[in-house]
Structure 1
């Protein structure tokens, strides 16, 4: 049976990797009796204007947000954690705010990320490195000529066609997840919090325990274990995080209780959401917060 909730604060539309348009998602929220819905697409604000229009149409309160990918490269963890960044609706009318947010997000994807990955490969495998596997440095143009949305496949093609590396094992050693050159997508934590502080965003650590979800499904995806998140948590606390996503489909009761204790310990607000991407594997209306918890959230947002 679907959990009866007041606000579902974590959902995705076609603006990132969801199956539904903003209007379709908000129409579903109306059908489910949800009073407020957070639209938090990955690293983009593009679906929010249409979401707000749909919210007025269906009389659903829309909470504007972005799920920001935060990049980590540690000896014990190389990957991303996610930060739900919420802000007031009127900020969308501020062109400087919107442009500034897009500029921050652009650091974690696209050209800027490709250039950083090229630098890492040259540092570890270029002619001036200890390995000296590449006869010349890999150039950004080697990748850009193949695609404006470069993936690992394009790096492999460039290493083969531009630098003459045929051995698949060597290519994997250069671009694989275990490579010292591997750089995950996302923005560095300090860069994000510079923007959060200046613009008074409400920052919530998304699904902290989902990487340790014991069941099947998509909720844990490629997220790190709870032990790693707990090790990194002080960095988020020191940066000035405001909340924890306690209620989440990939959090079993044990995790939910632990997240609640963390929230109390660090004086953080508690949020929740379904992380909706589709109608079957990750549907809307599975998790969320009560009306009283939503009032606390709104006070913090204001």
Structure 2
């Protein structure tokens, strides 16, 4: 890692096409201002913002890596996040699958909003309409968009408060991709499959090593070692695990634009994500692309 202002990257940012606050074009502008050379727009279960991001990046001299973040299940571990880098984001099979996921997600959002409105009614507050929530989204509607609608109404002061008081108590379980299928899909699309913020799966180090080793057996390519959910000593452990298993190492802020004190391109303690992480990832992407041709 480095604290210099040059040759830095961020391989995990979200746009308004999922649950981020900013458009892909705005993310590119923020990246340019921060002195980043490359970013990966990795929206949740959608690639709808990739084209805009790549076009904006070409104009500003910022490399934009096409990516996606899938919510998957591995054994009893639910809502494990899997990043797919360098995927063929125009693949029709992928787009059809994501469309089905979006429909499922919107049904879930309707159910969550109904539960939130029931709680609001008990407090003597007016209900929030789904169209009102939709104004805060560019693509699939999720819980952060309900949170922003609640802020707009003055019902809460922050996204964090909305989740704590309403969205967590009113949650409806997600449907997840099976891990083996998600990894296989990313690789079929010429992409590289990377486990996002691994300590969100487990903070128990022997367990985490076992999980990552099993995922490597399924075709996992890399680990997001440098991330904002891991402490310095945890990142060191993750780096050792990745090295032992021959996995690529990535780093990203998981920037949404709504987290207090979190900046694009920066990790815990102000560290920056070294641009040297990009070359091994791009090498593997190139190998996958040649394997598909």
Q: CA deviation at 1:184?
A: 3.5
Q: Aligned residue for 2:18?
A: 16
Q: CA deviation at 1:3?
A: 6.4
Q: Aligned residue for 1:259?
A: 238
Q: Check whether the contact 1:68–1:105 (CA below 8 A) recurs between aligned residues.
A: no
Question: d(CA) in 2 for partners of 1:245 and 1:42?
Answer: 16
In the alignment, structure 1 residue 6 sits paired with structure 2 residue 5: no
Q: CA deviation at 1:269?
A: 0.8
- Match of residue 189, structure 2, among 199, 208, 212: 199
In the alignment, structure 1 residue 249 sits paired with structure 2 residue 225: no
Q: Aligned residue for 2:34?
A: 32
Q: Secondary structure at the match of 1:29?
A: helix
Aligned residues: 226
Q: Aligned residue for 1:292?
A: 276
CA RMSD of aligned residues (A): 3.0
Instruction: After superposition, give the CA deviation of every residue in 1:80-118 in whole Å (9 maximum; x if it has no partner).
Output: 110110115xx34x4xx1x2223334565533x79xxxx
Structure number with greater Rg is 1
Q: Aligned residue for 1:71?
A: 73
Inter-CA distance 206–286: structure 2 relative to 1 (3 Å threshold): same
Question: d(CA) in 2 for partners of 1:259 and 1:62?
Answer: 25
Question: d(CA) in 1 for partners of 2:202 and 2:108?
Answer: 33
Inter-CA distance 263–13: structure 2 relative to 1 (3 Å threshold): same
Instruction: After superposition, give the CA deviation of every residue in 1:235-264 in whole Å (9 maximum; x if it has no partner).
Output: 311111111101112221111110110111
Q: CA deviation at 1:301?
A: 1.4
Question: d(CA) in 2 for partners of 1:282 and 1:42?
Answer: 19
Q: Aligned residue for 1:110?
A: 103
Q: Secondary structure at the match of 2:40?
A: strand
Question: d(CA) in 2 for partners of 1:183 and 1:3?
Answer: 42
Question: d(CA) in 2 for partners of 1:238 and 1:258?
Answer: 19
Q: Higher mean Cα deviation, 256-265 or 2-11?
A: 2-11
Task: Give 4+ residue runs of structure 1 displaced > 6 Å after superposition.
Answer: none
Question: d(CA) in 1 for partners of 2:79 and 2:24?
Answer: 26
Structure that is richer in helix per residue: 2
Question: d(CA) in 2 for partners of 1:233 and 1:63?
Answer: 24
In the alignment, structure 1 residue 301 sits paired with structure 2 residue 285: yes
Q: CA deviation at 1:229?
A: 4.2
Q: Structure 1: where are the runs of 5+ without partners?
A: 115-146, 158-176, 212-223
Q: Aligned residue for 1:282?
A: 262
Q: Aligned residue for 2:43?
A: 41
Q: Aligned residue for 1:226?
A: 203
